[in-house]
Each structure stands twice: as structure tokens, then as C-alpha cells.
Amino acid sequence: MIRIVLALMVVAVPIGAVLAYGDPNDLARTTRAISYAFGDDDAKALRLVEIKRRDNGEFKLRAKINGANAPMIIDTGATSVVLTYETAKAAGLPLELLVFNVDLETAGGRTRAAKLTIDSLAIGKLAEHGVPALVVPKGQMKTSLLGMSFLNRLESWEVRADRLELRGYP
């Protein structure tokens, strides 16, 4: 009896989502969430990204910001995602509207940054929308930083040996 009820739920909930939202993407998300809740390991793997530690100890990756490739380093000490001017320009962010009025301490010293919101920031299978970020003036940093304004949106992140695991919510 329990199996029949569970089977009906697995079918009824996604159909209800499509009827309620009318969006096939909502159906896919709802189906993944149900699979995840029932312990489906394939669904859990959909929201996991592993990054190997480099020889210099950094976790370097290639993200996509608004669809543009962006090399980044994971920095858990950075309160926010911090973009180089060049990365922000490549991502098509509105640089002409930026006001550099935020004091920022970087590994290279003090600078000023501008606040903005990234429409889409994706790392492999993980994508977040409306991510708060900072942009530094041209030439102030060599590489963009993936800081806590992105990492705090994840279900979890942890270092295991020489790998960083990023796990998103279903």
C-alpha cells in the first residue's frame, strides 16, 4: 500500500507542478527534488561539483558569468564574489554605471570596488541567479574570486584531501 501511495506521489507532484506553473523547467526541478528526497543517488550527483587542488594549494576553476567564461579562485575568506574589471567586461556587466565606493582589502593591498548583482553564475552543474558581487578597477587583481556570496547559497561545501566538493540544493 505504501508503495502505491509513493508511486502516485511521484507521478502526481510533477504533473501538478506543470499544471500550476506551466513551465517544463519547473517540472524538471520538481522531479529532481522528489528523486533527491527518495534517496536517488543520480539526482544527488546532478548538484555536485568537485574541484581538484592545484599544486600551489589553490582551488582554481572556470565559471560562467552570464554565459561568459571566467577563471576564478575559490576564496572562503572573501565575503563576496569579487570580479576583475576584465572579467566583468567579458560578462557584459554595465561597467559604465559602476561607482567604486566600497573599501576592499585584497592580497595585493587596499582598493575600492563597486557593488553589482550577477544575473547568472554557474560552476559546472551549479547555477545561481542574482548573486551579489564586487568589481575592482582595471588592473587591481589578476584573478576573480569565488567568495561567500556564492558559497553560502550552496547546501554544503567541504575540502576532502585534495578536492573541494560543492553541493547545491536539489
Q: Cα 17 vs. chain centroid, distance in angstroms?
A: 25
Strand-pair category, 81-83 with 48-52: unpaired
List, as one string, the DSSP characters of 59-105.
-EEEEEETTEEEEEEE-TT-SSEEE-HHHHHHTT--GGG----EEEE
pLDDT at 147: 96
Domain range list for the chain: 2-45, 50-167
Q: Which pLDDT score, from 0 to 100, does residue 108 have?
A: 78
- Confidence category of residue 43, pLDDT binned at 50, 70, 90: very low
Residue 88: its pLDDT value, please?
96
Task: Provide CATH code, domain 50-167.
Answer: 2.40.70.10
Model pLDDT for residues 44-76, shown as the tens digit of each residue:
456 899 999 999 999 999 999 999 999 999 999
Q: Which residue has the cell 547546501?
A: 155
Cβ neighbour number for residue 91 with a 10 Å cutoff: 24
pTM of the entire structure? 0.73
pLDDT tens digits for range 122-140: 999 999 999 999 999 999 9
